[in-house]
Chains A and B, each alone.
Chain A
Amino acid sequence: MDQKNIRNFCIIAHIDHGKSTLADRILELTDTVEKREMKDQILDSMDLERERGITIKLNAVQLVYHAKDGQDYLFHLIDTPGHVDFTYEVSRSLAACDGAILVVDAAQGVQAQTLANVYLALENDLEILPVLNKVDLPSAQPEVVKKEIEDLIGLDCSEAVEISAKSGLNVDKVLEEIVHKLPSPKGDKDAPTQALVFDSFYDSYRGIIAFVSVKNGTIKPKDKIRFMATGAEYEVTEVGVRTPKEVVEDQLNCGDVGWVSAAIKNIEDVRVGDTITVASNPASEPLSGYREMHPMVYCGLYPVDNARYDDLKEALSKLKLNDAALHFEPETSQALGFGFRCGFLGLLHMDVVEERLEREYNLSLIATSPSVIYHVYKTDGIMEEIDNPSALPEPQKVDHIEEPYVKCDIMVPKEYVGPMMDLCQKKRGEYVDLQVLDDVRMMMVYQMPLSEIIYDFFDKMKSCTKGYASFDYEFSGYRTSSLVKMDILLNGQIVDALSTIVFRDFAYNRGNAMAVKLKDLIPKQQFEIPVQAAIGGKIIARTNIKALRKNVLAKCYGGDISRKKKLLEKQKEGKKRMKMVGSVEIPQEAFMAVLSMDDD
């Protein structure tokens, strides 16, 4: 296919504005996927994605569009996630594209993540094609939303297509717009090869497969390719595209988006963001454009069964392969044994990784409460970065502690500004700005400690705005705060994995709430268990888990044995998932108690 007939683009949108549904319709209209094979949101190939209705891993699909001008066009569609945690995934897919379709819900209008994604696209010099979705909803206001896009983003919307991705209305027009308004790839087929690695996955038969966007030159089997950052060299065994099925091709040309298999065994050799070149005629420089993403949130992950430490290590290494933002290193806890300190972009990212480890690798895990990275300045003048509360130095050795702050942009309907301000203040937010966006909505800007956001901010925001607020944040710097380490004692013994770093003024409330929550979560045992929260040596909250007095099946005759045994098996499975700390059995959920307690 002639390079000028190729279009590489992605779809960007706020969560739930319909990008995956639009992708489905495009696949249908171009006969890429037969109707009978069509599952909803076909690009979301992980079960987890389809269940949660979110796109986690980006997917690249090649399709052929027969345009109204009589010519065939080769589209490479890259689906992108919309959630704030996955900004790094978006940035990777954007770098592989030349244009982007911006999907905005015609009823909800521009949301915080719409803006965040548009800014990323603009940074990557992409041509943006605005599209209004869900125009068939009774509450749709396409004209109002168009004006909003023009005002807030500065994109001309006079020709924006109004569609319903669900019913397919006007999706054909979007395809024509892609042909006429988005640019073709600019690279040179005869130049030294430069292919951007934007994703990779592990295949147990073929090793590591890299997804690439070929910016210059070609890649074909038998080529000796070099990963420019790591210097690793491999001989290509196969190349191809996804349609979304895997199809083997003779070669990948400049402008193509596809996969490269080269019997790569070493995970470390394939870094997302690296450039592949061909060793016989290497490019002088790698491509630029990828941002390295840094984890914002850390937690400990431990196998419930200590014998599965190596399995967890292997699973994390495999996930890391196509999740550049996942960081991990070994750590040890007195309570939980050997595990890993893992870094994530945010809470959803953490959740998703944990769930994938449990589901895809059949691991039973204990996750400790998430923590941000604190800068601890010691009296000897040395600064330590602490992402694990139990590693906090003794109070007398600490001069002061700084914690990360983020700038939050919160879009909220006017009537919820009051409750939202209360919430931000409660979370130690510092008012920065309040702007009128349109007749109904305001944009609130606050500086807030990140630790308050990972705690329960999302849930509280949803409940105090009936789900109408949207929210985005970016790191804005470190600030000194009055912070203390709060320990939890069970049966008189500190459980290191339950320690948290809290704002001093919140310590009493949180200590109480934590003790009460643990009382709920930890099942009664043969003896009474005191639950205490303490700062330094001082107990600030206390409650008791009463001793278990009765746990017996009243009836058990000949016909009951099977059923009662099943019941006991269930209790046994529950117990297997508990961690013995000292003489106390603690269920997994207890280690995340801090996230689900109510301290109002």
Chain B
Amino acid sequence: MVPSAYVHIPFCDSICAYCDFVRIQKNESFFSSWKEKLIQEIQEYKISSLHTLYFGGGTPSLLSVDDFVSIRNCFPKDIEEFTVECNPESLDEDKLNAYVALGVNRISLGVQSFKDDLLKVCRRTHTASQAISVIENIKKSSVSTFSIDLIFGLPNQTMEDVKKDIFTFLSLDIPHLSIYSLQIEENSIFGKTGVEPCDSDLEADMFEYITKTLEAAGYIHYEISSFCKPGHYSKHNLAYWQDKDFYGFGCGASGRLDGIRYDNTTSLKEYCSLGPCPVYIDETLAERGMDAIMMALRTKFGLNIKEWNLKYQSDFKEHYAQVLDKYREYFCFEGECIYLKDAGLEILNTILVDFMLIE
């Protein structure tokens, strides 16, 4: 059984400056054929049970409750974790209650910053106080858990700004945080307008502050950008990091079935006329093994060497002996698992490149 499914909702009201995901301003002329194709795509798999379901975007909370229902109903009724990404400006109390009634038990709210001028820089269309009141609403609702997204390393953001954001986050008593250092993507507005990346030492200082403060407050730093209170892990995201299969539905979605990854078309026009047009990614077993390493080392659970050796028909410790030695002070072994200490997580790319250099 494929344990997880991701549904990509590519519509947004406005385009955020950092984003380069497949997203388009909501457009009525495409919408009904998009919905029809999406439902068709999902129904083909006749999914009878599912562990986690994730509606991401784009802005899933832009969907009307009716549209939401018709997509949601393509999936089985009981799902252990059902997350919907929401934006503060499109999540009112009615919608929230409707979601809960439809089985949504986890909300992921795009807050990004608690400082209004930084929100403007990001071209977000909500204010910090709007976000805070939505957070209060979520807490009052019967949704079982939720998360917010924050970004650091934004243009002209100071260490003080970051401290304030973390203080606000802690004061709101939120069970999960995804906090990303700004990546300037080539196809984002930031990328196209030539925004300079944050000084890497300052960024490192910010990250160390965040990690230290949240851990002191009882949060578990379980993935590079993810923190949670005990028991509030994102089960869906862990599926990605722990080398599991997952469906990817919709225009711009990616999935993995029987270990083979695929990317659906990113053209909404194509999707609306021809459906998902998935492109399967031709990877050797060794390349898939590398994918597994790249994902697993992001988490505090690390990589299970025994499982990896079996699955990818190799000997991890022998094959990568050189890398393991070069970075020995960054690695920890525990039982069958190998994981990275904090300092190692921060330079994961450097370490991964050395893994990749071993053919």
On A, residues with C-beta under 8 Å from B are 524, 526, 546, 548-559, 561-562, 564-565, 567-569, 571-572, 575-576
Contact = CB atoms under 8 A, between A and B. Distances in A.
7 contacts: A550-B181, A550-B346, A556-B224, A557-B240, A558-B239, A568-B349, A571-B349
Given A554-B224, A554-B225, A569-B356, A561 B254 contact: yes
Given A561-B291, A572-B357, A552 B348 contact: yes
A295 B349 CA distance: 45
Contact of A551 (B237, B246, B253, B346): B346
B180 interface: yes
Given A552-B347, A556-B298, 15 more contacts: A550-B207, A552-B348, A552-B349, A553-B183, A554-B181, A554-B224, A554-B225, A556-B295, A558-B246, A558-B254, A559-B248, A559-B254, A571-B349, A572-B356, A575-B357
A65 to B, nearest CB: 54
Interface string B71-82: 000000000000
A551 B295 contact: no
Interface of B: 6, 8, 21, 180-183, 200-201, 203-204, 207, 224-225, 237, 239-240, 246, 248, 252-256, 261, 263, 281, 291, 294-295, 298, 327, 345-350, 352-353, 356-357
B350 A562 contact: no
Contact of A561 (B181, B253, B295, B327): B295
A251 B252 CA distance: 66
A559 B345 CA distance: 21
A553 B349 contact: yes
Contacts, number: 96
B183 A568 contact: no
> 6 tightest CB-CB pairs across the interface, nearest first?
A549-B204, A554-B180, A559-B254, A550-B204, A551-B349, A552-B348
Contact of A548 (B8, B246, B347, B352): B347
Contacts of B349: 551-553, 567-568, 571
A487 B237 CA distance: 52
A130 to B, nearest CB: 50
Contact of A549 (B182, B201, B224, B291): B201
Contacts of B254: 558-559, 561-562
User: Chain B CB within 10 Å — which of A548, A557, A562, A575 has the most?
Assistant: A557
Given A549-B200, A552-B346, A568-B352, A557 B237 contact: yes
Contacts of A569: 356
A549 B246 CA distance: 33
Contacts of A572: 353, 356-357
Nearest to A575: B353
Contact of A571 (B237, B261, B353): B353
B128 to A, nearest CB: 21
Contacts of A551: 200, 346-350
Nearest to B290: A565
A564 B183 CA distance: 11
A561 B252 CA distance: 13
A572 B355 CA distance: 10
Contact of B346 (A549, A556, A561, A565): A549
A575 B6 CA distance: 35
Contact of A559 (B8, B201, B347): B8
Nearest to A550: B204
Contact of B347 (A549, A558, A564, A576): A549
A381 B6 CA distance: 81
Contacts of A552: 181, 224, 345-349
Given A551-B348, A555-B225, A568 B356 contact: yes
A576 to B, nearest CB: 7
A526 B347 contact: yes
A311 B204 CA distance: 43
Nearest to B252: A559
User: Chain B CB within 10 Å — which of A526, A559, A565, A567 has the most?
Assistant: A559
Contacts of B200: 524, 548-551
A554 B346 contact: no
Given A524-B200, A549-B346, A554-B225, A562 B181 contact: no
A377 B21 CA distance: 67
A547 to B, nearest CB: 9
A572 B354 CA distance: 8
A315 B188 CA distance: 43
Contact of B350 (A548, A565, A567): A548
Contacts of A561: 254, 261, 291, 294-295
A186 to B, nearest CB: 64
A561 B261 CA distance: 9
A562 B255 CA distance: 11
A568 B353 contact: yes
A526 B350 contact: yes
Nearest to A571: B353
Nearest to A549: B204
B203 A550 contact: yes
A559 B248 CA distance: 8
A526 B354 CA distance: 13
Contacts of B203: 550
Contacts of B327: 526
Given A559-B6, A572-B357, A550 B347 contact: yes
A549 B181 CA distance: 13
A134 B46 CA distance: 75
B141 to A, nearest CB: 25
A400 to B, nearest CB: 47
Contacts of A546: 201
B346 A559 contact: no
Contacts of B181: 550, 552, 554
A557 B241 CA distance: 7
A560 to B, nearest CB: 8
Contact of A555 (B183, B253, B281): B183
User: Chain B CB within 10 Å — which of A552, A555, A569, A575 has the most?
Assistant: A552
Contacts of A567: 349
A559 B253 contact: yes
A554 to B, nearest CB: 4
Nearest to B326: A526
A228 to B, nearest CB: 52
Contacts of A557: 237, 240
Nearest to B241: A556
A567 B204 CA distance: 20
Contacts of B204: 549-550
User: Chain B CB within 10 Å — which of A564, A567, A568 has the most?
Assistant: A568
A557 B4 CA distance: 13
A575 B356 CA distance: 11
A526 B343 CA distance: 10
Nearest to A525: B350
Contacts of A524: 200
Contacts of A575: 353, 357
A555 B112 CA distance: 14
A122 B183 CA distance: 63
User: Chain A CB within 10 Å — which of B237, B291, B349 has the most?
Assistant: B349
B6 to A, nearest CB: 6
Contacts of A550: 181, 200, 203-204, 207, 346-347
User: Chain A CB within 10 Å — which of B224, B281, B298, B347 has the most?
Assistant: B347
A78 to B, nearest CB: 47
Nearest to B240: A558
Contacts of B246: 558
A556 B263 CA distance: 15
Contact of A565 (B8, B180, B239, B294): B294
Contacts of A565: 291, 294
A548 B256 CA distance: 34
Contacts of B263: 559, 562
Contacts of A548: 200, 347, 350
Contact of A553 (B201, B207, B239, B348): B348
Contacts of A576: 357
Contact of B180 (A549, A555, A571): A555
B20 to A, nearest CB: 9
